[in-house]
Structures are given as structure tokens and as C-alpha cells.
Structure 1
Amino acid sequence: MDILVRPTPELKGEIQALSSKNYTTRYLLAAALAEGTSTIFYPAHSEDSDAMRRCISDLGATLDEDEEKIVITGFGAHPRDVKELNVGNAGAVLRFLMAVTALSPDVTFVNTYPDSLGKRPHDDLIDALQQLGVHVEHEQGRLPIRIQGGSPKGGHIQVSGEVSSQYLSALLFLTPLLQEDSHIEVLGDLKSKVVVGQTLEVLKQAGIHIEFQDDYVHFHVQGRQAYQPTTYTVQGDYPGSAAILAAAAVTRSDVTVHRLEEQSKQGERAIVDVLRMMEVPLTHDKGIVRIQSQGKLKAIEFDGDAATDAVLAMVAAAVFAEGTSRFYNVENLRYKECDRITDYLNELKKAGAHVEERQAEIIVHGRPEGVEGGVEINAHYDHRVIMALTIVGLGAKQPLRIRDAHHVAKSYPQFFEHMTALGALVEWVQE
């Protein structure tokens, strides 16, 4: 379905931040890899986290969930022998499970989103798994992908960090379960190091010990470890909340978002610092962010590598800032659900924004007076693009119609419900 976003001068109200998708998927996997019963409080519900639920269940985990928590009895190092797994459009879930199913004899990951996840490359992880003795069949690094493992071997493993940190995280989940010790060496410039920190945090909570250097180049992983069943609590989600906060920044607003920890390891926590740099009036105390904005913003320069999933929302805010903003070191945005630089900026131009792209940069010439709007734009099946274009629609002079906006459910199913609760003028329309 499409969403129609009408010009909205004012937002007001309070919401609870969604639970973190990144932490939820990692906790679900850690619980599945434990022999015994773990409890996860406040797990996220989205297409991505639900894909992880579905797949670990297929692999032999038992799940019992109520409104507050999910109780999981894991399969440890012995996943059930299944022939196919369907991760939907969830790239991180695919990559984590490509590694875990190296413990299985023969699994094929099917391609149900040929125009999105089906286009994304996984060559670097495939190469690393082959170093472990795993046979992988694939379509030039893309889905469908067949993993024939069963007895992967540890040792010295080299993996590129140039495209995604998810390849490294996948190996960090797998290698503690191998019979041999492993030494993982990261080649090139590792992207999204902050997200690797989240993986290491979860592994530590699960009782897994990994030795590593601060530069995240070398990791020593002792084999024959066991994931411990335990209790986890999922924190609030900064990537999704970044869109809410940016929307509040570009309007006259008094918006409060709860459950956003000040000391979170989520790199997207930088949205708070970026909005401060843009001179947006806000406070952040005891997990509560409150924005009281007049819709006036200043241009900034920002290294987006550590806050990848908030950059599009930052760019949307910069569309209305006074001056020229630059977001650099963001090339990995090109390898997401769509090319989040070229595809996103093309849609922003249709809406009337003045933007430029470089291979690893986004340049925004702000228009404080607003953009024209009055057009239909394509979100390219990408949840982050949908949320960011919605922000732009709030400040447009005429309505924006965003195609296929229901794909926002990949990470934030309640996004438009929350926006409406704050006063945003949005409505679903039939295609």
C-alpha cells in the first residue's frame, strides 16, 4: 500500500521507543545456540526479528511468547536438519544463519525478495565459510544460497569488512562452537564497528569468551565453548527512533520518546548529538529524549559510518537546514535493501530537495523554506527510505505519496501509527 503524507506544521506527544531490532535478533540467536532455556524481555516485533523467530524454530528451537517476554529452549550446536530456510528480506538474519547452518548438512536459503535482498552480495562471507571447509553454492554471491556443512573446521579465517560488518558478526556467532580454536582476521576497512560491539556485548552476556584488539582486526576464539542459557532485556531502538526525532526536529514540536538509554552501544544514538549540532532544542536524561523545536536547523558535517541506520533520517532533517550539510564515509549505504545513496537521493530530488552524491558522501543544500512535494515517489521496498521520505513529506508544501510504504514493517511496523499519534497528517491509500 501507499502512504500519503500531507504537510504537517506541528507534532506533539509522547511515545515509547520500539525495542531494538539489532539486539532482538542477536538475543534470539544466542538463546537458540544455548542448550537450555533462556528468557528475552521486551523483544522487538518486526519482519526482521520475526524472520529470526521463524528460522530458529525451523532449526529446532522451541519458542513460547507472551506480551512481555519470549522463552526459548535452544538447540545448541546441533540445529535440526532442514532443507530450506526463508529469511524474507532480512539481510542480517540471512548472514548470521548462513554461518550457523554451517553446522547442518545441507540447507538452501530461498530467494523471496529478488528485487531487494536477492540483489545484495554475500561473497565475502561465502569466502570465509569456504575457508572453514563449508561447501557453498550460490548465484554470483547472491540468493538462492545452498550451505553444505556439517563439520566446519576452525583455524585462521580471513574476512573482508569493506562491505558489511555482518559477515564478521556471523563468524563470531559460529566459531565458539567449533572443535578447533579460530583466529579471525578482518581485511580492509571494517564498516559499522559499533554494530560489531553489539555482537560482542551479546556474546559476552551469553557466556562466550572472545579475545580481540580495540581496532577489531584480530579476534581469537577458543573452540568447544557453549552458549549459556540466561535472561536478556532488550533496550529501546535508536535507528527507528531516529526518524521520529528527526521528524520532531523539522516541525514545531514538543515530542518525548522514552526508553532510549544514554549509554547505549547503538551507534545510531548519535542522532541525539547530530540534532544538537543542528541546534535543535532537546534534552536527554534517564532514558528520555524530549524535543521542543521551532523547525529551525543548521547545516552540519557528519561521519556516518558509526550510525549507518540513522543517516537517512539525518539527511531528511538536513533537507530543511540552513546551509550545506555533508554526510561522509557512508558508502556501505549502497549495499542495503536498495542503494541508499543513489536511490534515496533520486527520490529526494523528485520531492524538490537539492542534494548531490559522491561514492561515499551525501551532500545536502538545505531549503529552510521547505520543498515543493506534490509528487509520487518510490521507496524501493526499503524501510529506512520510507521513514526518511515521510520526514520530508511533513515539511513539503504539497502532499507526497510514497509507494509501497507497508514495507516499513521490516523494522518498525508501528511507525505510521506512532506518527499519527504525534499529529502527523498521514493516511493509507490503495495502489
Structure 2
Amino acid sequence: MDIIVRPTPQLKGEIQALSSKNYTTRYLLVAALAEGTSTIYYPAHSEDSDAMRRCIADLGAVIEEDDEKIVIKGFGSKPKDVKELNVGNAGAVLRFLMAVTALCPDVTFVNTYPDSLGKRPHDDLIDSLTQMGVNVEHNEGRLPIRIQGGSPKGGKIKVSGEVSSQYLSALLFLTPLLAEDSEIEVLGDLKSKVVVGQTLEVLEQAGIRIEASEDYVHFKVPGRQSYQAKTYQVQGDYPGSAAILAAAAVTESDVTVKGLVEHSKQGERAVVDVLKMMNVPLTHQNGIVHIQGTGKLKAVEFDGDAATDAVLAMVAAAVFAEGTSRFYNVENLRYKECDRITDYLTELRKAGAHVEERQAEIIVHGRPEGVEGGVEINAHYDHRVIMALTIVGLRSQKPVTIKDAHHVAKSYPQFFDHISALGASVEWLKS
């Protein structure tokens, strides 16, 4: 479904932040890997977290859920022998489960999104699993992927961090369950280190012991460990909230977002600091961010590696800033649901933004007067691109139509409900 975003000068109101997708998927997985019953309060509901729910159930976890919590009886180190798993379009879920299903004799991950996840490579994780004695059949590193495991071996394992930190996280979930101790060495420049910190935080909460070097290059993982059944509470989601906060920043606004912990390990928490650097009037205390926007912003320079999933929203805000902004160290944006540099900037230019790309940088020449709009733009089936283009539509002089905007449900199904409740003029177009 397509959506039309009309110019909206003011936003006002209060919303509760979505629950964190990253923490939800990790808690679901460690609960499934525990022997016993775990409870997760306030889990996220999105296509990604629903894919993890569906797959761990297929692997033998018993799940009960109500409006407040999800209760999971885990399968421990013995997932059910299944022939096929479908992760939908959820890259992190695929990668985590490629490692976990190395404990199964023969599983094939099917390709139901050939134009999105189906295009993404997973060679680095495949190489690591092969080192562990797992046979992997694949389509040049892409789906469909067949894992023939059953008895993966620990020991010395190398994994590249150049494309994604998810490969490393996948190995960190698997290796504690192996008979042998493991030493994991990360090759190259590890992307999204902050997200590895979230993985380690969740593993520690689940009773797993891992020794990590300060630079996250070397990890010592004792084998023969067991995940413990625990109770978890999911914190608010900064990546999704980044789009709401950026929308408030580019308009005249009085917007409050609740449920965003100040000292969260989510790297995207940096969106609050970046908006402050852009002279956006805001406060952040007691888990509440309050923005009283003027629509007037100044340019910023920012290392985006630690806040990957908030960069597109910050770029959208920078489109309307005074001066030239630069977001650097962001090459891993190219390896997401789409190429979030080339594809995204192509669409921004259609709307009238002045943007340039480098291999690992996005440069934005701000237009405080706004952009023309009046175009139909392609979000490339990417939830983050959809949210970021919506921000631009709010400050366009003419309406912007975003193709296939329903794919926002991958991480934030309520996004258009929330932004509409704050006063944004958005309308679904009947196909």
C-alpha cells in the first residue's frame, strides 16, 4: 500500500515509545535456549520479532502470550529437528538462527523476499560455521541456505566484522552450548559495536559467561554452559523513536516520547545528542524526551557507526538544517534491506534534497526553506527508508507519495498511527 504525506507545519502530543525490536528478538532467543520457563514483559510486535516467535516455536519452544507478556518454555540445547524455516524479511533473525540451527541435523532457510533479504550476503557467517564443522549449502552466500549441522565444534573461530556485527552475535549465542571452549577472533573493522554490547548484556542476564576484550576483537567463551530461565523487561526502542523525534525537530512542535531510558546501551540513543547539537530544544529525563521544535536546525557532523538504525532519520532532519551536514563511517548502511546510501539518497533527490554520497559517507547540503516534494518516491521495501522519507514529506512544499509504505511494519507497525496522532497529515491510498 502507498501513503501520501502532506505538508504538516505543527506536531503536538504524547506517545509511548515502541518496545525495542533488538532486545525483544534477543530475549526471545535466550528464552528459547533456556531449559525452563522464561517471561518477557512488554515485547515488541513487529514483523522481525514475530519472525523470531514463529521460528523458535517451529524449533520446539512452547509460547503463551497476553497483552502484557510472553511466556516461553525453552528447548535448551536441543532444538527440534525441522526441515524448513521461514524468517520472512528479518536479517538478524536469519543470522542468529543460522548459528543456532547448527545444532539441528538439516534445516533449509527459504527465500520469500528475493528483492530484499534474498539479495543480502551472509558469507562471513557461513565461513565461520564451516570452520566449526557445519556443512552449509547456499546461493553465493544468499538464500536459500541449507544448514547441515548436528554437532558443531568449538575451538578457535574467526569471523569478519566488516559487513555486520550480527555474525559475531550469532556465534556468541551458539558457542556457550558447545562441548568445547571457544575463542572467537573478529577480523577487520567491526561494525555496530554498540549492538554487540546489547548481545553481551542479554547473554549475561541469561546466565552466560563470556570474556570480551575491550575492543571486542577477542572473545573467550567457556563451553558446556546452560541458559537460565529468567524474567525480562523490554525497554523502549530508540531506532523507531528516532524517526518520531526527527519529525518533531523539523516542525513547530510540542512532542513528548515516553519510555526511552537515558542510559540505554542502544547506540541509537545518540539521536537525542545529535538533535541537541542541531539546536533542537529538548529535554531528556526520567525516561521522557520532550521536544519543543522550531523547525530551525543547524548542520552537524556525526560518526554513524554506533547509531546505524537512526542515521536515516538524522539525515532527514539535516535536509532542513542551515549548512552542510556529514554522516561518516556508515558503509554498513549499504548492506541492509536495501542500499540505504544510494537508494535512499536517490529518493531524497527526487523530493528536492541536495545530498551527495561517498562509499562510507552521506553529505547533506541543508535547505532550511524546505524541499519541493510533489513526487512519488520508492522506499525500496525498507522500513527505515519509509520512516525517513515521511519526515521529509512533512516539510515538503507539495505532498509526497511513498510507495509500498506498509513495509514499515517490519519494525514499527504503529508508526503512521503514532505520527498521525501527533497531527501529521498522512493518508493511505487505496490500491
TM-score interval w.r.t. the shorter chain? over 0.9
Task: Summarize deviations over 1:187-228 as a string: whole Å, max 9, x none.
Answer: 000000000000000000000000111100000000000000
Do residues 161 (structure 1) and 164 (structure 2) align?
no
Partner of 2:401: 401
Structure 2 CA distance for aligned equivalents of residues 214 and 257 of structure 1: 33
Structure 2 CA distance for aligned equivalents of residues 212 and 71 of structure 1: 30
Partner of 1:335: 335
Partner of 2:55: 55
Q: How many Å apart are 1:408 and its aligned residue?
A: 0.0
Q: How many Å apart are 1:82 and its aligned residue?
A: 0.4
Partner of 1:211: 211
Do residues 233 (structure 1) and 233 (structure 2) align?
yes
Partner of 2:242: 242
- What is the one-letter code of the residue matched to 1:264? S
Task: Summarize deviations over 1:354-393 as a string: whole Å, max 9, x none.
Answer: 0000000000000000000000000000000000000000
1:103-182 aligned at under 5 Å gives the runs 103-182=103-182
Q: How many Å apart are 1:430 and its aligned residue?
A: 2.2
Structure 2 CA distance for aligned equivalents of residues 204 and 352 of structure 1: 47
Question: Equivalent residue of 2:137, what SS?
Answer: strand
- What is the one-letter code of the residue matched to 1:374? G
Structure 2 CA distance for aligned equivalents of residues 287 and 399 of structure 1: 34
Structure 2 CA distance for aligned equivalents of residues 55 and 41 of structure 1: 20
Structure 1 CA distance for aligned equivalents of residues 428 and 78 of structure 2: 45
Question: Equivalent residue of 2:302, what SS?
Answer: strand
Scaled by the length of structure 2, what TM-score is found? Answer: 1.00
Runs of 4+ in structure 1 off by over 4 angstroms are none
Structure 2 CA distance for aligned equivalents of residues 233 and 366 of structure 1: 40
Task: Summarize deviations over 1:35-85 as a string: whole Å, max 9, x none.
Answer: 000000000000000000000000000000000000000000000000000
Partner of 1:415: 415
Structure 2 CA distance for aligned equivalents of residues 53 and 142 of structure 1: 23
Task: Summarize deviations over 1:235-255 as a string: whole Å, max 9, x none.
Answer: 000000000000000000000
Partner of 1:379: 379
Task: Summarize deviations over 1:4-46 as a string: whole Å, max 9, x none.
Answer: 0000000000000000000000000000000000000000000
Question: Equivalent residue of 2:24, what SS?
Answer: helix
Task: Summarize deviations over 1:98-135 as a string: whole Å, max 9, x none.
Answer: 00000000000000000000000000000000000000
Structure 2 CA distance for aligned equivalents of residues 426 and 274 of structure 1: 26
Partner of 1:353: 353
Partner of 2:390: 390
Partner of 1:12: 12
1:182-221 aligned at under 5 Å gives the runs 182-221=182-221
Partner of 2:368: 368
- What is the one-letter code of the residue matched to 1:241? S
Structure 2 CA distance for aligned equivalents of residues 164 and 3 of structure 1: 31
- What is the one-letter code of the residue matched to 2:329? N
Q: How many Å apart are 1:136 and its aligned residue?
A: 0.0
- What is the one-letter code of the residue matched to 1:388? A
Structure 2 CA distance for aligned equivalents of residues 124 and 108 of structure 1: 18
- What is the one-letter code of the residue matched to 2:259? R
Partner of 1:80: 80
- What is the one-letter code of the residue matched to 2:351? A
Question: Equivalent residue of 2:80, what SS?
Answer: coil
- What is the one-letter code of the residue matched to 2:250? V
Percent identical pairs in the alignment equals: 85
- What is the one-letter code of the residue matched to 1:239? P
Do residues 310 (structure 1) and 299 (structure 2) align?
no
Structure 1 CA distance for aligned equivalents of residues 373 and 430 of structure 2: 20
Task: Summarize deviations over 1:299-343 as a string: whole Å, max 9, x none.
Answer: 000000000000000000000000000000000000000000000
- What is the one-letter code of the residue matched to 1:119? K
1:19-38 aligned at under 5 Å gives the runs 19-38=19-38
1:276-295 aligned at under 5 Å gives the runs 276-295=276-295
- What is the one-letter code of the residue matched to 2:94? L
Paired residues in the alignment total 431
- What is the one-letter code of the residue matched to 2:148? Q
Question: Equivalent residue of 2:158, what SS?
Answer: strand
Question: Equivalent residue of 2:392, what SS?
Answer: helix
Partner of 2:426: 426
- What is the one-letter code of the residue matched to 1:217? V
Q: How many Å apart are 1:415 and its aligned residue?
A: 0.1
Q: How many Å apart are 1:233 and its aligned residue?
A: 0.3
Structure 2 CA distance for aligned equivalents of residues 279 and 69 of structure 1: 39
- The answer for unaligned runs of 5 or more in structure 1 is none
Structure 2 CA distance for aligned equivalents of residues 387 and 166 of structure 1: 23
- The answer for unaligned runs of 5 or more in structure 2 is none
